[in-house]
């Protein structure tokens, strides 16, 4: 609107100023004409004019202000019945006019009327005010037309200066208005920027709720968001507490039953299966998954903590851990889920590795990628799908029930992620690639 309205306002002001200047010039030339008409004398049908006029510009040659008296056949034919000349002729001119100008350049208005117009005289633009009058008696009238001529140079220069000042003023006003509008926009949109920053902090796990003070238009929205966040966190905590209580209540009777010496091998095997199923289902159910609201989790502290623990657990193997984690990498999910995923995969890599385990975590604007490699024997292509099923093992380890990778699969699926099992090109062992959309 600023770029449209201000030029329109400038055009209106410019046109109004030009019309005002033309009207002032017309009045000025009209005043000159009456001052000259007041000193005209006619004797015996002859025109008598003084040598010097009151206005000094008429007395200075080429001053830009001129006066000319002409007789016109058209004027005389319309206003008298006497025999008249067939063409107009110059009767008198002011001393400021040196070179003769043809009378045909001037208009001849009717007797008692005037005309204000522009004319090209000597290849220069001029303003002309023409007034037709008649002197003498009714028997011997002397009709004539007085022409007051003024060069356009002064007016053109004044208009150019005015346009220049107007353009500078409007440009300055435009810049001031744009600056005011920019500052006003910053001030009015500041709550939205604050809200965006706080939402980003909630997603990255830096905050648990919106803490800012917002105007009336956003107050209800932020309050509802805080209620939603609180309800989500409390519901998740109650759910996990209930599952934990259920785990304790089920495992205690199973532990008592397993201590009975009279149990047959078949019964003992079934109890172990029941214990495995309970552990798997509870760990699967405790996953936060892709909830509507979640706190982001910093990846580097959890990964480094896991690596230190694994170094102690597998210190007899003297494994080399190569860790490469992108700065400010965040997992858009629950911390316990990330710990479960990394813990299972790194533990399996340490069991299979001979000398080296590599962990690489990177992120972009669209996804986060976790790559875990080892220099072990690797996983046969025909077993890569089977080991993700519950109870299937591809190793000969003495501990575990074969549910770790199944839990990882379920957790990754709950976050709409994917798992790819390949052979490591550098370490020649297994390579697990996890991709999580952000």
Q: pLDDT tens for residues 82-140?
A: 333 335 688 888 888 877 777 677 888 888 899 999 888 777 889 999 999 988 777 77
- The answer on pLDDT for 65 being more than 60 is yes
Confirm whether 227 is domain-assigned. no
Do 155 and 6 lie in one domain? The reply is yes
Confirm whether 37 is domain-assigned. yes
Length of the chain, in residues: 438
Q: How far apart are CA 358 and CA 319, in angstroms?
A: 10
Confirm whether 184 is domain-assigned. no
Instruction: Give me the domain span that covers residue 424.
Output: 296-437
pTM: 0.47
The mean-pLDDT minimum among 63-72, 129-138, 257-266, 274-283 falls in 274-283
% of the chain residues with pLDDT over 70: 88
What is the reported pLDDT for 354?
Answer: 92
Higher per-residue confidence, 334 vs 430: 430
Among 159, 183, 209, identify where a domain stops. Answer: 159
Q: List the CATH number of the domain containing 108.
A: 3.30.450
If one counts the domains in the chain, the total is: 2
Q: How far apart are CA 12 and CA 298, in angstroms?
A: 63
375-414 pLDDT tens trace = 999 888 888 888 876 544 444 443 333 567 888 888 888 8
163-207 pLDDT tens trace = 999 999 999 999 999 999 999 998 888 888 888 888 888 877 777
Among 126, 159, 192, identify where a domain stops. Answer: 159
């Amino acid at each position: 609107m600023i770029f449209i309205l201000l030029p329109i306002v400038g055009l209106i002001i410019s046109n109004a100023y030009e019309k005002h200047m033309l009207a002032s010039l017309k009045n000025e030339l009209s005043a000159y004409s009456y001052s000259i008409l007041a000193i005209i004398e006619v004797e015996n049908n002859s025109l008598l004019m003084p040598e010097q006029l009151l206005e000094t510009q008429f007395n200075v040659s080429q001053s830009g202000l001129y006066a000319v008296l002409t007789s016109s056949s058209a004027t005389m034919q319309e206003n008298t019945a006497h025999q008249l000349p067939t063409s107009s002729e110059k009767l008198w001119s002011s001393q400021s006019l040196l070179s003769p100008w043809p009378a045909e350049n001037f208009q001849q208005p009717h007797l008692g009327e005037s005309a204000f117009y522009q004319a090209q005289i000597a290849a220069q633009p001029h303003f002309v005010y023409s007034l037709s009058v008649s002197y003498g008696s009714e028997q011997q009238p002397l009709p004539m037309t007085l022409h007051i001529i003024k060069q356009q140079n002064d007016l053109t220069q004044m208009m150019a200066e005015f346009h220049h000042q107007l353009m500078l003023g409007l440009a300055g006003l435009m810049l001031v208005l744009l600056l005011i509008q920019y500052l006003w926009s910053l001030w009015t949109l500041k709550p939205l920027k604050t809200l965006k920053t706080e939402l980003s902090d909630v997603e990255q796990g830096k905050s648990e709720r919106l803490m800012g003070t917002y105007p009336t238009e956003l107050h209800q929205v932020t309050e509802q968001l805080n209620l939603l966040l609180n309800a989500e966190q409390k519901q998740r905590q109650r759910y996990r507490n209930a599952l934990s209580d259920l785990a304790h209540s089920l495992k205690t009777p199973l532990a008592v039953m397993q201590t009975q010496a009279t149990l047959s091998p078949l019964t003992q095997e079934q109890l172990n299966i029941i214990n495995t199923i309970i552990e798997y289902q509870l760990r699967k159910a405790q996953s936060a998954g892709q909830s509507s609201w979640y706190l982001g989790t910093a990846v580097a502290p959890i990964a480094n903590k896991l690596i230190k623990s694994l170094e102690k657990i597998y210190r007899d193997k003297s494994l080399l851990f190569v860790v490469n984690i992108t700065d400010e990498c965040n997992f858009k999910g629950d911390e316990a889920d990330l710990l479960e995923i990394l813990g299972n995969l790194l533990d399996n890599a340490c069991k299979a590795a001979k000398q080296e385990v590599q962990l690489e975590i990177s992120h972009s604007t669209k996804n986060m990628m976790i790559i875990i490699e080892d220099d072990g024997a690797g996983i046969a292509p025909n077993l890569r799908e089977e080991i993700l099923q519950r109870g299937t093992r591809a190793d000969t380890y003495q501990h575990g029930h074969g549910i770790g990778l199944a839990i990882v699969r379920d957790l990754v699926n709950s976050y709409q992620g994917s798992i790819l099992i390949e052979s490591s090109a550098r370490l020649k062992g297994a390579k697990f690639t996890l991709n999580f959309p952000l």
